[in-house]
Amino acid sequence: MPMGWWWWFVDKGKKVIIFFIFAFKLSPNSQIRVVDFNQLYDKNPCKTLGSATIKIIMETPTVGMTEVPGRGRAMVALRPIKGGEIVLRDSPILLYSALPFHSDNHLNNNPYCSNCFTTISQPPQTVTCSTCASQFCTLACQSAASTTSHTPWVCQTLIRLRDYFSSNRVPLDVQIQTRFVVSAYNLAIVSQSKFQTLLSLQGSVDSVNSVASQSDVVSESDASFINSVICSVCPPLPVQFGFSIELTKVLLAKDKLNAFGLMEPFSEQNADRSVRAYGIYPVASFFNHDCLPNACRFDYLDADKSSSLNNNTEMVIRMIHDVPQGREVCLSYFPVNWKYSERQKRLREDYGFVCDCDRCKVEAGWSESDGDELAMDDDEGNDEGNEEGTMDEDVDERMEGEDGDVMKGDDDFPHAYFFLNYMCDRTNCWGTLAPLPPSVGTTSGVMECNVCGGFKKLDQV
Ligand SMILES: C[S@@+](CC[C@H](N)C(=O)[O-])C[C@H]1O[C@@H](n2cnc3c(N)ncnc32)[C@H](O)[C@@H]1O
């Protein structure tokens, strides 16, 4: 609940000065918005202040965290929520590149800012670190990074790791995990409180091991390898951070269960869009999975950064449709058109649970070929473009039957409604559609795709 105090006093008998101090014990999605500087002007004793009256609105929290047996922490609707309503804006405590180390110095191979991961395809825009040659989108971003994601320790570490990985062939997933561990230890250097937040997220080596097959748990040998590379190659970490193989393994488990994949820019020509960066979003991490989600996430990495109001790394979670109070709000951890066996495999091996959502209950009774009508693997049956096992909701997976033949009879396929209404049908997209935020009490008539960013009117859907 919000608690507020305010004081006012008269300055030389003419001006009234008011101070507000608020203390909060709120769910993380609550916001204060300064909405109107003048609205109270005529009704308020602050009249003599003219335009200095500020109205502060506390938005009622839409979701709150609770424990759900068998599912751990979960986000639940605290009141009826409309389709399109924003239930969370979350900033990352940690972002790291999903590209190999050798790509770092070449804008053609790695056209993303090393700090905020916006696309910087125009060389004149680029700012280059004079020590390690990492690229940044602006001086301001580089300057912000120097005390957060790109400290002197990271800068020196990158130089050495690029050298190391250019002369040793190491699989991409291990390079990406190494980037994560470096970012996580750097987080311990720059912010103990954020590091503790990272440690408080779901994920221990045991929890992943419990259901997953042995081949897919946080690999003991990968963790040892990454640990030894960081010990032997990187500048030493301050002793008090307790750098150890055990901590490295725990961190990798947190990453596996909680990292969100942030995708490359969408293009209809590119069926193999992959991840540009991963992010740990501490509150968004509390959303559980459902194979027919009622909310989806949007990111705006390539949004115009010229306005100081635009925080391009913020994640926005919006409702896909209305839900009643008390309903759990869930995301899908991967594109919703994946077939039953793929979804079960991913959730079991990477997230350590067996999904028994309503959709899985129905599809469990289908034959494999029924599932094929909904989703398609690549030729080897792999989950193309989504090999990192993290919450890559946006990864492209094509749904078979593009001409509209995906729908089975209603009895076999009760969730047909979801696919018709909330899945984008643009070539190579297959994102999820959610209404734009509603204006007072009404759902907006325009749907936005969380992958291609396209808009559709509800009556076109
Ligand atoms: C990103 S976390 C979600 C928040 C988590 N429940 C917590 O307590 O912090 C992912 C983990 O939540 C649990 N989880 C998510 N969706 C679930 C579901 N549908 N059924 C059971 N467990 C689920 C699994 O343990 C999974 O590894």
Final residue in a domain of this structure, among 232, 261, 290: 261
For the chain, the domain total comes to: 2
Compute, in angstroms, the gap from residue 324 CA to the centroid of ligand 1: 21
Question: Which token pair is 270?
Answer: 């590119």
129 and 244, same domain (yes or no): yes
Ligand 1 lining (C-beta closer than 6 Å):
70-74, 202, 257-258, 285-286, 288-290, 351-353, 355
Distance CA 422, CA 461 (A): 8
pLDDT in tens, 224-242: 999 999 999 999 887 667 7
Residue nearest to atom 26 of ligand 1 (CA): 351
Compute, in angstroms, the gap from residue 74 CA to the centroid of ligand 1: 8
Residue nearest to atom 19 of ligand 1 (CA): 289
DSSP output for 207-249? HHHHHS-GGGSS-HHHHHHHHHHHHHHSPPPPGGG---HHHHH
Number of helices and strands (H, E) in the chain? Answer: 11, 17
Q: Provide the residue range defining the domain that includes 26.
A: 1-61
Confidence of residue 365 (pLDDT cuts 50, 70, 90): confident
Final residue in a domain of this structure, among 61, 83, 106: 61
8 and 105, same domain (yes or no): no
53 and 99, same domain (yes or no): no
| For the CA of 285, the nearest atom of ligand 1 | 1
Residue 403 lies inside a defined structural domain of this protein: no
152 and 255, same domain (yes or no): yes
Confidence of residue 25 (pLDDT cuts 50, 70, 90): very low
Distance CA 49, CA 37 (A): 11
Among 63, 65, 68, 71, say which to mutate for ligand 1: greatest number of ligand atoms within 8 Å of CB: 71
36 and 124, same domain (yes or no): no
Residue nearest to atom 27 of ligand 1 (CA): 351
Residue 423 lies inside a defined structural domain of this protein: no
247 and 165, same domain (yes or no): yes
Compute, in angstroms, the gap from residue 219 CA to the centroid of ligand 1: 20
Task: Say whether pLDDT at 126 is over 60.
Answer: yes
Final residue in a domain of this structure, among 261, 293, 309: 261
Residue 25 lies inside a defined structural domain of this protein: yes
Residue 236 lies inside a defined structural domain of this protein: yes
8 and 125, same domain (yes or no): no
Chain centre to alpha carbon of residue 42: 44
Residue 34 lies inside a defined structural domain of this protein: yes
pLDDT in tens, 378-434: 333 333 334 334 565 544 333 333 333 344 445 556 688 899 899 999 998 989 999
pLDDT (0 to 100) of residue 206: 61
Compute, in angstroms, the gap from residue 415 CA to the centroid of ligand 1: 22
